[in-house]
Amino acid sequence: MSDLRDLYQEVILDHSKNPRNFRKCETANRTAVGYNPLCGDKMTLFLTVENGIVTDASFQGSGCAISTASASMMTESLKGKTEKEADELFQQFQNMVTAPMDQEPDTEALGKLRVFAGVREFPARVKCASLAWHTLEAAIHGESDEPVSTE
């Protein structure tokens, strides 16, 4: 049986109640809107990228504990990373939350973000954890104004 404590770890609860970098950024040069139609979660991500390096990341929106904490911790981990490093983080995060239960995915680069490993025991919540990350991908690579959707 899956354990709720794997999902709602202290760090996750803390970030969901007190999200970091929860603000609008007027000077951001990359923004994207992410939307999870299933639960109505919506977030806007603001990135400032200078010379290929993320110098600021923040977000706004409403969501469940998992998606809020994920966005909060993601923005913390992005600062100082190159766009390429951000892409790699996205890949590792995606692998971690979607890997089959009998596999140990590579989480080397993820550091603190490893607390989200428990999400894969709760398939219905994987989209909550990855909403911020899909929004990040859209902000870095996207040209479309359409919100990215987890559906």
Which stretches of the chain bind another protein, using CB under 8 A? 1-2, 4, 7-8, 13, 17, 38-42, 62-66, 68, 122, 124-125, 128
Find, among 54, 107, 95, 109, the residue nearest to 76 by Cα: 54
Cα distances from 52 to residues 60, 80, 81, 84, 96, in angstroms, run: 23, 10, 9, 8, 26
Greatest pairwise CA separation for the chain in angstroms? 47
**Minimum separation from the CB atom of position 2 to another protein (A):** 7
Nearer to another protein, 2 or 82 (CB): 2
Q: Is 40 or 52 the residue whose CB approaches another protein more closely?
A: 40
Q: Which is nearer to another protein, 66 or 113 (CB)?
A: 66
Work out how close the CB of 52 gets to another protein at its nearest, in angstroms, rounded to a whole number. Answer: 35
CA torsion sign for 71, 130, 44, 60 is negative
Shortest distance, position 101 Cβ to another protein, whole Å = 16
From the list 124, 109, 116, the residue with the least C-alpha distance to 73 is 116
Residue among 33 and 39 whose Cβ is closer to another protein: 39
Nearest distance in Å: CB 119, another protein = 10
Among residues 118, 79, 71, 110, which one has the least CA distance to residue 92?
Answer: 110
In degrees, rounded to 5, the angle at the alpha carbon of residue 96 between the alpha carbons of residues 94 and 99 is 95
Please identify, using beta-carbon distances, which residue of 22 and 122 lies nearer to another protein: 122
What is the closest distance, in whole angstroms, from the C-beta atom of residue 108 to another protein in the complex?
28
